[in-house]
């Protein structure tokens, strides 16, 4: 969304009732990181009206409800077609979207055999920023109001900023983006376009989906698997597949399935998967004896990535990596895979960082001193107001928000609690029967999740918004297992 589109433009876009939205500001964020210039944007293009199939009924057959094409083991059933409404691509976006020096959010012509710009399109590109933003704002009424809430909204400009910031900090193979954070093939395409070719996955479905989409240059399943059928599926992918192993059992299962490459997963402090550092060398020898190529080691300092005290975060990261270094001495290999969004700039030992949340972000990571901004929110509708007791209720709750990191946030408000389908909140300026007015029933608010990964997994699609208009709708097509 354009950097000039704030609460006023949002209010004008979604109707007069939006004047009661509580400090809702869709952007209002500086898109530049010191030392990282993001230039070349010329405002949002005028958009054609969206196909109602992508902004209306959630059972649109082109957004993840086709019949299974692979084994019934995948839940929900996997769809071979990783594109959302590929055949209607030119109806979704009126013209390609210029995003800095890279067309990160543009629908690429080679994917839809669409013709290149003509003179009319080039003339349209030269329209003034103000004219184009005005046109986009006129269209937002049609698009945002057409959405059924709760709906996932992605600020395209902030997403661009986050992808570019990471590419500048950790270019190329230095970052192996973790797909679990967004589970969206189209977003993975943008990450690859900016230089990150290898991907980290948490589930078999993510691996299969990326391979089917032609993004299988270097896929790491950073998770242990013992299911023979799933492992055989991975071994037969048209992709380079590396799997994490941490025991004789997982090594044997991988070898029997015909997998070729692995990383020895080392426990560096988080009580989850991973072998003891001193056992890593023995496991590497065993893996090689079973015909696996051991590329190196991996370890995740997941208990450290969210520490708000940077000094402590750096200190504990160093301690974790000392354990991984000890393991690597006994294992060898070129790959040392570790880290996350919270330690991307203080993990100096790993050869690659498995960051995922940086692309969309959440309120937990927003508390850290990192250069990434919240790009993902949930658009919700006020469905009830209790003026006497000073609270309002929005139509998003536990079934649309990841809650393990705490309550979501609403700008200018205090969230009381979430229930299955509701979030109850009050305004920060004392909304009572004698105080400032609460938002009216029917108005819309922006809800910021505390944990992006599970939040995304609850939804079938995300809507990319720029310049006040929905410019794209992406299926969250890698959900499930």
Report d(CA 62, CA 51) in Å as an integer.
12
Residues 132 and 45: beta-carbon distance below 8 Å:
yes
Report d(CA 51, CA 59) in Å as an integer.
14
To which residue do tokens 């530049």 refer? 32
Cα–Cα distances (Å) from 181 to 29, 171, 178, 449, 453, in that order, read: 22, 19, 6, 13, 4
Instruction: Give strand pairing partners of 392.
Output: 385, 425
Q: What is the DSSP letter of 127?
A: S
Report d(CA 379, CA 88) in Å as an integer.
25
Max Cα separation, the chain?
A: 76
Pick the CATH number of 159-360 from 3.20.20.10, 3.90.320.10, 3.40.50.300, 3.40.30.10: 3.20.20.10
pLDDT at residue 430 in the model: 55
Residues 342 and 309: beta-carbon distance below 8 Å:
no
pLDDT in tens, 426-464: 998 654 554 557 999 999 999 999 999 999 999 999 999
Residue 126 makes CB contacts below 8 A (sequence gap 6+) with none
Fold assignment, 1-158+361-481: Lyase, Ornithine Decarboxylase; Chain A, domain 1 (2.40.37)
C-alpha radius of gyration, the chain, whole number = 23
Report d(CA 478, CA 204) in Å as an integer.
9
Report d(CA 437, CA 276) in Å as an integer.
58
CATH 3.20.20.10 residue window(s) in the chain:
159-360
**CB neighbours of residue 324 within 10 Å:** 29
pLDDT in tens, 28-41: 222 223 333 333 33
Cα–Cα distances (Å) from 85 to 67, 171, 318, in that order, read: 16, 31, 46
**β-pair type (293-299, 261-265):** parallel
pLDDT at residue 146 in the model: 83
Task: Tell me how many degrees the CA angle 124-128-131 measures, rounded to the nearest 5.
Answer: 90
Give the phi and the psi of residue 338 in degrees, each rounded to 5: -165, -175
Cα–Cα distances (Å) from 240 to 184, 220, 426, 461, in that order, read: 20, 8, 51, 28
Q: What is the DSSP letter of 115?
A: P
Give the phi and the psi of residue 325 in degrees, each rounded to 5: -65, -40
CATH 2.40.37.20 residue window(s) in the chain:
1-158+361-481
Give the phi and the psi of residue 460 in degrees, each rounded to 5: -85, -20
The one-digit pLDDT tens for each residue of the chain (481 residues) are 333 333 333 333 334 333 333 333 322 222 223 333 333 333 333 333 333 333 333 333 333 333 333 333 334 443 433 333 322 222 222 222 222 323 333 333 333 333 333 433 433 443 343 343 333 333 444 577 789 999 999 999 999 999 999 999 999 999 999 999 999 999 999 999 999 999 999 999 999 999 999 999 999 999 999 999 999 999 999 999 999 999 999 999 999 999 999 999 999 999 999 999 999 999 999 999 999 999 999 999 999 999 999 999 999 999 999 999 999 999 999 999 999 999 999 999 999 999 999 999 999 999 999 999 999 999 999 999 999 999 999 999 999 999 999 999 999 999 999 999 999 999 986 545 545 579 999 999 999 999 999 999 999 999 999 887 899 999 999 999 9
Task: Tell me how many degrees the CA angle 337-316-373 measures, rounded to the nearest 5.
Answer: 70
To which residue do tokens 């309550």 refer? 407
């Amino acid at each position: 969304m354009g950097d000039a589109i704030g609460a006023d433009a949002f209010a004008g876009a979604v109707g007069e009732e939006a004047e009661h939205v509580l400090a809702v500001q869709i952007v209002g964020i500086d898109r530049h990181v010191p030392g990282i210039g993001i230039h070349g944007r010329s405002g949002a293009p005028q958009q054609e009206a969206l196909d109602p199939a992508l902004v209306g009924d959630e059972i649109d057959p082109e957004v993840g409800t086709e019949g299974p094409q692979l084994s019934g083991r995948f839940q929900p059933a996997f769809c071979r077609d990783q594109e959302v409404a590929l055949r209607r691509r030119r109806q979704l976006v009126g013209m390609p979207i210029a995003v800095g020096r890279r067309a990160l959010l543009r629908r690429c012509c080679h994917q839809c055999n669409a013709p290149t710009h003509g003179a009319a399109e080039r003339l349209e590109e030269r329209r003034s920023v103000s004219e184009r933003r005005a046109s986009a704002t006129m269209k937002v009424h049609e698009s945002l109001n057409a959405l059924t809430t709760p709906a996932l909204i992605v600020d395209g400009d902030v997403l661009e900023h986050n992808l570019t910031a990471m590419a500048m900090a950790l270019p190329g193979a230095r970052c192996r983006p973790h797909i679990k954070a967004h589970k969206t093939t189209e977003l993975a395409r943008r990450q690859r376009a900016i230089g990150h070719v290898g991907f980290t996955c948490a589930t078999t479905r993510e691996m299969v989906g990326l391979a089917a989409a032609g993004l299988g240059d270097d896929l790491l399943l950073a998770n242990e698997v013992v299911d023979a059928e799933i492992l055989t599926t991975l071994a037969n992918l048209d992709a380079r597949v590396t799997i994490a192993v941490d025991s004789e059992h997982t090594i044997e299962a991988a070898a029997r399935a015909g997998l070729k490459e692995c990383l020895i997963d080392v426990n560096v402090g988080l009580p989850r998967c991973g072998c003891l550092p001193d056992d890593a060398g023995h496991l590497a020898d065993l893996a090689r004896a079973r015909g696996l190529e051991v590329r190196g080691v991996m370890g995740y300092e997941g208990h450290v990535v969210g520490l708000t005290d940077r000094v402590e975060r750096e200190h504990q990261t160093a301690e974790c990596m000392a354990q991984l270094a000890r393991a690597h001495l006994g294992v060898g290999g070129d790959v040392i895979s570790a880290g996350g969004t919270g330690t991307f700039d203080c993990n100096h030992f790993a050869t690659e960082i498995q960051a995922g949340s940086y692309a969309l972000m959440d309120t937990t990571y927003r508390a850290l001193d990192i250069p990434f901004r919240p790009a993902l929110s949930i658009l919700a509708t006020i469905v009830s107001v209790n003026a006497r007791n000073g609270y309002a209720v929005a139509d998003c709750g536990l079934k649309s928000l990841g809650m393990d990191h705490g309550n979501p946030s609403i700008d200018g408000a205090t969230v009381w609690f979430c229930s299955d389908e509701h979030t109850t909140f009050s305004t920060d300026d004392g909304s009572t029967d004698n105080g400032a007015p609460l938002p009216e029933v029917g108005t819309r608010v922006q809800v910021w999740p505390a944990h992006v990964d599970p939040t995304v997994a609850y939804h079938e699609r995300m809507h990319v918004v720029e310049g006040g208009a929905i410019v794209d709708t992406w299926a969250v097509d890698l959900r499930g297992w």
